[in-house]
């Protein structure tokens, strides 16, 4: 990964990196008018000495030694788990910093030829260029020509204003000499190429190469390099995206100059001039490949590091998602929405989240039907009531208490609780009561009254504690109706909590980021899974066995996928939210259907009838290359002892 470490090398240290280019230029450079190296260096020293004397008048100039620790603002990049670029994030400056030896030799020579062919010979200023510019400026009565070397351009870009005055030019020259006393030529050239503006919000040579040619700066041909070198003086005016004819004219000037100084032959110049330029497209404001993913990543990084670090710090962020898998999930949601419409269900939105129980990495996160139409990410931002999909947390708490087993009896009979100044009487879906029944049957049939009674028995504070252990951070109050999901939870929270059931109690914090580094490659965020056993194995295996029954014979028979799977439906009062959350050992998935304005979906709409089929279709594609795996039996683990 690119760093700026080379700018910290002090003058006088080994300069192996610069010698090949320096030797090449010393051996091939030609001097107009027959000027010899000795005269040039002598003149340079005399002029330099005079300017050093002038430095006394410039005591308020910046200290160029700060460049030893200079780190330019740099674009941050977000990748999928396989390294595919998903998005770039930057403020005003879109830049990726690279080392000098990662830049095409053709580009380095082209830039030097057109901007400063004596760069490796002078000590910050070029007397010939200065003298010529001075005569032109005297004749015009104004500063119309600069005579700037690459070093002078660098200090102008970093330290000085762009006003065209004699005092600024003198300051520029003094600072250039100071820079040359501290840094090597290669260090200066590297800073220059990584700093200058190349047009279309591209700063630095790497970003420009990617923008103009969709390739790295190390891969540029002579034709491409000379085109880019021609842009430096006026990037937008000479841009091939704006004026291709003017671009080719500038390219010809660069090739002509390279031929004049002997760095290419006439034949090479002609071949480069006639080579077609296969252009890319500006990358600065390109939209994200996976916006639901990248926006979730951005939110997390901003909370941890702040906006400035994200937009200017050159982070490299690897996400947990695979591009193709996420695209498949988005297509499944869009297709499911169309099927719902064809069935007469006018639900505005569908959201889906998939989490790997083995790592708790988010594998897919779809926050809505169409991101272009609505950027609200319901998978992580919308708190919706889960209804009966909350019940497994109550039943797990009961099993872990040591007081209950799946075969324990609970009464499905009318009950009334005092709730403040009023009374609360829980009702089953459909209004009937079944009398005494096993806990297993109560959960498979999704009976409400037994869940409320069980919540009161085990203690709602204990249920909330289990939820917190499973990573649910949304507000939870110990209200009597809590076991029926009368609180708001995000789809990501449910998918992550159920993933811990799928791993039989092993938990890591769900994340969408694998790792993040700074621009130098230092790891600043490492989410390598650190699973820990947080649930009782017997209680978890017992719960999974019951939730398998929900799919096999209960309210979610439409979720059957031909392999062992467990899950729970959820339908809220007035059918405002319908859910199915289910899992296999390799994947936990939550599906939600609803309207943003909380409009009821319609009488008779249930999670089992509408959300479960979406889950089934998604799992069919998600698991097509995954072997069948089985859940551990509760009999393998000791049952918790009673308190």
How far apart, in whole angstroms, are the C-alpha atoms of residue 627 and residue 564?
11
Q: How many residues does the structure list for the chain?
A: 643
Q: Is 213 left (phi over 0), alpha (psi -120 to 50) or beta?
A: alpha
CA angle (173, 178, 235) in 5-degree steps: 55
Instruction: Answer for the pair 110, 254: CB distance below 8 angstroms, yes or no.
Output: yes
How far apart, in whole angstroms, are the C-alpha atoms of residue 567 and residue 612?
9
How far apart, in whole angstroms, are the C-alpha atoms of residue 152 and residue 131?
15
Residue closest to 116 by CA, chosen among 103, 132, 101, 129: 129
How far apart, in whole angstroms, are the C-alpha atoms of residue 513 and residue 317?
7
Annotation says 289 is catalytic? no
Residue 318, helix vs strand vs coil? strand
256-275 core/surface letters (b: 16 or more CB in 10 A; e: else): bbbbebebbeeebbeebbee
Those residues with Cβ within 8 angstroms of residue 84's Cβ, 6 or more apart along the chain or in another chain: 289, 323
288-312 core/surface letters (b: 16 or more CB in 10 A; e: else): bbbbbbbbbbbebbeeebeeebbbb
User: If residue 462 lies in a helix (H) or strand (E), which one and from where to where?
Assistant: helix 460-469
How far apart, in whole angstroms, are the C-alpha atoms of residue 109 and residue 181?
23
224-243 core/surface letters (b: 16 or more CB in 10 A; e: else): bbbbbbbbbeebeebbbeee
Annotation says 307 is catalytic? no
Residue matched to tokens 């009976």: 447
Those residues with Cβ within 8 angstroms of residue 350's Cβ, 6 or more apart along the chain or in another chain: 333, 336, 337, 340, 366, 368, 369, 591, 592, 593, 614
DSSP characters for 104-156? Answer: -HHHHHHHHHHH-TTTTTSSS--HHHHHHHHHHHHHHTS-------HHHHHHH
In degrees rounded to 5, what are phi and psi of residue 506?
Answer: -85, 130
Instruction: Answer for the pair 125, 152: CB distance below 8 angstroms, yes or no.
Output: yes
**Token pair recorded at residue 8:** 């910290």
Half-sphere exposure (CA, 13 Å, Cβ side) for 7? 25
Question: Per the residue annotation, which of 88, 288, 388, 503 is the catalytic one?
Answer: 388
Question: Per the residue annotation, which of 74, 106, 115, 300 is the catalytic one?
Answer: 115
Q: Which active-site residues does the annotation give?
A: 115, 388
């Amino acid at each position: 990964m690119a760093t700026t470490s080379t700018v910290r090398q002090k003058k006088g240290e080994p300069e192996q990196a610069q010698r090949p280019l320096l030797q090449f230029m010393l051996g091939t450079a030609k001097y107009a008018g027959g000027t010899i190296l000795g005269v040039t260096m002598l003149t340079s020293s005399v002029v330099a000495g005079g300017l050093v004397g002038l430095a006394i008048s410039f005591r308020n100039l910046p200290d160029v030694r700060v460049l030893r620790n200079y780190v330019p603002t740099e674009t941050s990049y977000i990748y999928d788990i396989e390294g595919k670029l998903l998005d770039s994030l930057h403020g005003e400056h879109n830049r990726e910093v690279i080392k000098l030896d990662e830049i095409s030799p053709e580009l380095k020579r082209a830039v030097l030829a057109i901007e400063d062919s004596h760069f490796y010979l002078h000590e910050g200023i070029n007397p010939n260029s200065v003298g010529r510019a001075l005569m032109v400026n005297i004749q015009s009565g104004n500063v119309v020509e600069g005579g700037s070397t690459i070093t002078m351009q660098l200090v102008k870009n970093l330290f000085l204003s762009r006003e065209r005055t004699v005092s600024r030019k003198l300051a520029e020259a003094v600072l250039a000499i100071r820079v040359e006393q501290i840094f090597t030529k290669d260090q200066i050239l590297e800073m220059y190429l990584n700093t200058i503006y190349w047009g279309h919000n591209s700063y630095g040579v790497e970003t420009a190469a990617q923008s103009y040619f969709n390739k790295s700066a190390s891969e540029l041909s002579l034709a491409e390099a000379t085109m880019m070198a021609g842009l430096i003086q006026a990037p937008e005016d000479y841009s091939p995206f704006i004026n291709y004819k003017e671009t080719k004219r500038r390219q010809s000037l660069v090739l002509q100059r390279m031929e004049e100084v002997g760095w290419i032959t006439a034949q090479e110049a002609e071949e480069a001039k006639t080579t077609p330029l296969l252009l890319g497209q500006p990358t600065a404001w390109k939209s994200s490949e996976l916006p639901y993913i990248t926006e979730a990543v951005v939110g997390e990084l901003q909370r941890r590091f702040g906006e400035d670090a994200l937009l200017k710090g050159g982070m490299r962020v690897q996400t947990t998602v695979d591009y193709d898998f996420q695209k498949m999930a988005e297509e499944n949601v869009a297709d499911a929405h169309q099927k719902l419409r064809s069935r007469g269900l006018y639900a505005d939105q569908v959201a889906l989240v998939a989490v790997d129980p083995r790592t708790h990495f988010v594998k897919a996160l779809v926050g809505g039907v169409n991101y272009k139409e609505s950027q609200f990410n319901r998978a992580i931002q919308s708190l919706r009531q889960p209804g009966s999909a909350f019940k497994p947390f109550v039943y797990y708490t009961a099993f872990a208490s040591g007081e209950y087993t799946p075969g324990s009896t609970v009464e499905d009979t009318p009950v009334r609780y005092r709730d403040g100044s009023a009374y609360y009487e829980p009702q089953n879906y459909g209004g009937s009561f079944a009398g005494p029944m096993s806990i297993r049957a109560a959960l498979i049939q999704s009976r409400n009254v037994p869940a409320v009674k069980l919540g009161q028995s085990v203690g709602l504070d204990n249920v909330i504690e289990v939820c917190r252990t499973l990573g649910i951070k949304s507000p939870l109050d110990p209200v009597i109706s809590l076991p029926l999901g009368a609180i708001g939870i995000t789809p990501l929270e449910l998918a992550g909590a159920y993933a811990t059931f799928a791993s039989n109690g092993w938990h890591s914090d769900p994340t969408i980021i694998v790792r993040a580094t700074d621009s130098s490659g230092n790891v600043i965020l490492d989410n390598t899974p650190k699973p820990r056993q947080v649930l009782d194995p017997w209680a978890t295996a017992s719960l999974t066995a019951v939730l398998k029954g929900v799919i096999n014979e209960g309210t979610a028979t439409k979720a059957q996928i031909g392999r062992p799977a467990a899950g729970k439906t959820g339908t809220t009062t007035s059918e405002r939210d319908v859910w199915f959350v289910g899992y296999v050992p390799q994947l936990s998935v939550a599906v939600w259907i609803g309207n943003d304005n909380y409009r009821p979906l319609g009488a008779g709409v249930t999670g089992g009838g509408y959300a479960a089929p979406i889950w089934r279709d998604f799992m069919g594609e998600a698991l097509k290359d995954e072997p069948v795996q089985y859940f551990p039996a509760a009999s393998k683990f000791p049952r918790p002892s009673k308190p």
